[in-house]
Structure 1
C-alpha cells in the first residue's frame, strides 16, 4: 500500500471515529431540520473543505493557537445561532395546519441556508479534535493532499448521515418545535465553549 493511500485511510478512519459522536454531526442534523438538506450539505461541505485546507497548510502549528480565543469565538458563533433560532421558535402564533407542520425546512434561499450552515460548521470545526488530528497527520505522513482528502471525505460522510437523519426527523415534527430544540442545543454548545474559555 502506498504511503499516500495509507495517509488517506488513516485520516478518514480517525476523522470518522472522532466526528460521529461529536458536535459536528449534531449541528449538521439540527441545521437540516431548519433548512433544505441540499443547502445544508453544500454549506457544511464548503466549511469542511476550507478547514481541511487550513489544517493541512499549517500542520501542527494549529495546536499553538490560544485555546481560550478559539473557545470564545466558537461560543459566540453558537450563541448567535441560538438567539436566532429561539427568537423564531418562540414567535407568537403556532403553525396553523398539518401541512405547514410537515413542510419542515423554512422557505429560505439556498444561498442564505448554505452560508449559515458554512458559518456554523466553520466555527464548530475551528480548533476541533479532527482539525488538530488532520494537522498532526499531515506533519507525520508528509502527504498533505492525501491527508486533506481523507479528512474532507470523512467529514462529508458524517455530514451526509446527519442530513439524512435530520430530513427524517423534520418530516415528523412541527417546525417551531424544531427551532426551539435547535436553539437550546446551540445555546448549550455556546455555554460549553465559553465555559471552557473561562476555566482554561
Structure 2
C-alpha cells in the first residue's frame, strides 16, 4: 500500500504545472471533448508508466541492494532539484496530427510528451525503490489522472489559482526526503 500511496502522491504533485498538464489544457481547449481526452491520457499513461515501471523493476534486480540504494537515493535527490524547474509545453505536442481523432491524438501526444519527463523518470525510480510493479504503475497512473482530469475540465482556471511554485516545492521536498531516507537505508524494503 505504501508503494501505491507514495507513487500517487508524488506523481500528482509532480504533474502540477508539468508540460503534460499544460498539454491536457491545450487539448481540452482545442477539441472540447473531455471524455476521449481523459481516456487518451489514461491509455497513454498506462503504456508509458508500465514501460517505465518495467525498467525500474529490471534495474532493481540487476543491481545489488547497496548499489541500488545509492542509485535510487541520488536519483530521488536529482528529481527534487528537477521538480523546481518549471515545464513549458512544446507546441508540437499540442498540434499533433488530428487525423487520429481526439482519442488517438491525445494518446500519441501524451505518450510522446511523457518520454523522458519527470513523472516517467519518477516511475522508474519508484519501481526500483518499491518491489511492487503493479502498485507503482497504478499509483503513478492515478497521480497523473488526479492532476490531468481537472485540467481537462477546468483548464486555465486551476493554473490561475494554484501556486505552481509551491506545488513544485512540496513535490521536491517529498523527493528529497525519499532520497535521504533511501541513502540512510531507512525503510523496510532496503
Residues 1-150 of structure 1 aligned to structure 2 (within 5 Å): 5-35=1-31, 36-59=33-56, 78=90, 80-81=92-93, 112-150=101-139
Per-residue deviation at 1:28? Answer: 0.2
Q: Is there any run of 5+ residues in structure 1 with no aligned partner, and where?
A: 64-77, 86-107, 170-200
Query: For 2:141 and 2:94, how far apart are their aligned partners in 1?
Result: 26
Per-residue deviation at 1:81? Answer: 4.9
Query: For 2:129 and 2:123, how far apart are their aligned partners in 1?
Result: 10
Contact 1:33 1:167 in 2 (8 A): no
Deviations 1:146-186 (A, max 9, x none): 001000000011111111113989xxxxxxxxxxxxxxxxx
Per-residue deviation at 1:34? Answer: 1.2
Return the TM-score normalized by structure 2: 0.60
Count matched residues: 128
User: Which one has a bigger Cα radius of gyration?
Assistant: 1
Q: 1:27 to 1:154 in 2, by over 3 A?
A: same
Deviation >4 Å, runs of 4+: 78-85
Q: 1:112 to 1:57 in 2, by over 3 A?
A: same
3-state DSSP of counterpart to 2:155: helix
- RMSD across aligned C-alpha pairs, in angstroms? 2.9
